[in-house]
Structure 1
Amino acid sequence: MDLNTVIDVRDPRRREPWRPGDAFLGGGTYLFSEPQPHIRRLIDLSRMGWPPLSWQPDGSLDIAATCTITELSRFGRSLPATAAPLIEQCCRAFLASFKIWNMATVGGNLCNGLPAGPMISLTAALDGVCRLQGQDGVVRRIPVADFITGAGKKDLREGEMLRSISLPARALDGRTAFRQASLYGLGRSGALVIGVRDPQDGSLTVTITAATVRPFRFWFALPPTAAELRAAIEGAVREEDWFDDIHGLPAWRRHMGLRLAEEVRRELSPEVPR
């Protein structure tokens, strides 16, 4: 869709003052999908030249906000890490065409903040941390699970951009379990649950997304019983936190969230009784 209110496209390296009507442009798959009458100027992040994926000295993986789904998928298929299959599973959860895969970015998926955003699911489950940079150069770091505050809502200040997402080496070495449910064979995720078993201390993390308005992440020092897991979820996720739209009613999403979480628990901790 043409954005006929846009009168200029700027290079972010010039560090011009932020003004009303500005918007960051990553892949543009959302921006160009519907009218954006409030936007007057686009700040084209593709000109930054950030490497899509890079290893850091501490062994963590840095995913640039401008990394496309195609680039992430290709990287994940060649990654010699225990959690590598989870990357492809979450990329496939888009159920999008190759056109979208080649343009949509990891950062854009997070900044849209939609409950069904699979990059939110992936990075929240792997204990990802967002690196945010303000117009004044000040950098903030915030866990992905806290960055998304509601359906379409995120902790992003005016003029602030998502620079990258860091995944710790420890999370990449964990055993993972993935469960997804939709009302349709090729539909948007109605519930997506990911479990990660820590290879060092045996702890278990269960992350619920898509079914809820924001990510809910549950950490257990020891794998819980079915009753303990259910109690933790029901104690944290309020009735209004179960998402409601045409892709699933809250009651159904709650049922599927609890069911898939239990399946994940059993897969990653079969030695723990109910």
Structure 2
Amino acid sequence: MDLDTIRDVVMARGREDLTGLGAGSAVLAGGTWLYSEPQDRLDRLVDITGLGWTPLTSDDDGLEIAATCTLAELADTAYPAHWPATRLFGQACGALVASHKIRRMATVGGNVCLALPAGAVLAALTALGGSALVWWSGGDEWIPVSRFVIGPGQTLLDQGDVLRALRIPAANLRSRTAFRKLALTPKGRSGSVVMGRRDRSGALTLTLSAATTRPVVLEFPDLPTSGELSATLADIQPDLWYDDPHGAPDWRCHITSVLAAEVTAELSGANPSGDRS
């Protein structure tokens, strides 16, 4: 779609080019959402792809993902065999309603900053205990991805703030993971996505998304019993269950409990079979 209100496009070459991001400005990376609908409030785009950030950087401490890394780069990279949790990247990208063209252009940072309930890459980074490096207008800070989104389409970012990168600790990448997704139609937007991560200590982390207004993280020191899992899910605030044409809150709550039980069973070793899709 043509954005006929845009009067200025700046190719950022350094951090100083990011100054002046105001109400009429937007950060441009992949642009797949920006160009998908009218942006009447905008008159200026700041293209951050010229900053030349390396898409993926790994070391002994873990994996760093640039905000400008594309979904295709994230999903299709061959990661070390001792990082089995990286399979969540491909599963998360596959859960999105996006063509191959979109995956080659859309960025990890864009998926995170859009903060859509069905943002599966955002959910995967949350499930893996990732941290986000934010360039605040007044300084830099690493914050947990689980805190980054505060509601549908809402993040901690304010005018002038930019998401620079995301980082996942190596220990979490060595974890076992499980993934479940359910939608009203085979190719429809996700109604519920549940991702599980079991650390070597035996601790289990369940991350709920698509069914909730933001990713919800449930932590257990060991595998919960069915009663413990049900009780924990019942404690989720009712207003966190998302309501849109892709699913009513009560349906989302019900199917999430089913998927959470399946993920827990798989990570217990009782049901090691493939993913529900």
Which residue number corresponds to residue 207 of structure 1? 207
How far the C-alpha of 1:98 sits from its partner, in A, is 1.2
The within-5 A match list for 1:186-265 is 186-199=187-200, 201-235=201-235, 237-265=236-264
- Is this contact kept in 1: 2:23–2:159, CA < 8 A? no
Match of 1:85 in 2: 87
CA RMSD of aligned residues (A): 1.3
Q: Per-residue deviation at 1:78?
A: 4.2
- 1:46-125 matches, within 5 Å, as 46-56=49-59, 58-75=60-77, 77-80=78-81, 81-125=83-127
User: Does the 8 A contact of 1:17 with 1:135 survive in 2?
Assistant: no
Regions of 4+ moved over 4 Å: none
Q: Name the SS for the 1:190 alignment partner.
A: strand
| Contact map agreement 1:54 1:63 (CA 8 A) in 2 | yes
Q: Percent identity?
A: 44
Q: What TM-score, normalized by structure 2, do the two folds share? A: 0.93
2:42 equivalent in structure 1: 39
User: Which structure 2 residue ranges, 5 or more long, are not aligned?
Assistant: 271-277
Between 16-25 and 188-197, the greater mean CA deviation after superposition: 16-25
Q: CA deviation at 1:202?
A: 1.0
Asked whether 1:23 is paired with 2:22, we answer no
- 1:226, distance to aligned residue in structure 2 (A): 1.0
After TM superposition, give the deviation of residue 145 of structure 1 in Å.
1.2
Deviations 1:58-77 (A, max 9, x none): 521001110001111111x4
Cα shift readout 1:211-253 (whole Å, capped 9, x = no counterpart): 0001110111111111111211221x21111101011111110
Q: State the partner residue of 1:162.
A: 163
CA distance, structure 2, for counterparts of residue 92 and residue 115 of structure 1: 15
Identify the residue that residue 145 of structure 2 maps to in structure 1.
Answer: 144
Structure 1 residue 85: Cα displacement = 1.9
Q: 2: distance between equivalents of 1:95 and 1:37?
A: 25
Is 1:18–1:135's contact at 8 Å kept on the other side of the alignment? no
1:132, 1:204 → 2: CA distance?
Answer: 28
Total equivalences in the alignment: 266
Unaligned runs of 5+ in 1: none
Where does residue 7 of structure 1 map in the other structure? 7
What amino acid is the match of 1:185?
A: P
SS at 2:68's partner residue?
A: coil
Per-residue deviation, 1:83: 1.1
The AA in structure 1 aligned to 2:227 is A
Q: Which residue of 1 aligns with 2:273?
A: none
Amino acid at match of 2:115: G
State how far apart, in whole Å, the 2-side matches of 1:79 and 1:175 are.
14
1:130 is aligned to 132
Q: Which amino acid aligns with 1:82?
A: P
State how far apart, in whole Å, the 1-side matches of 2:122 and 2:61 are. Answer: 21
Residue 270 of structure 1, CA deviation: 4.6
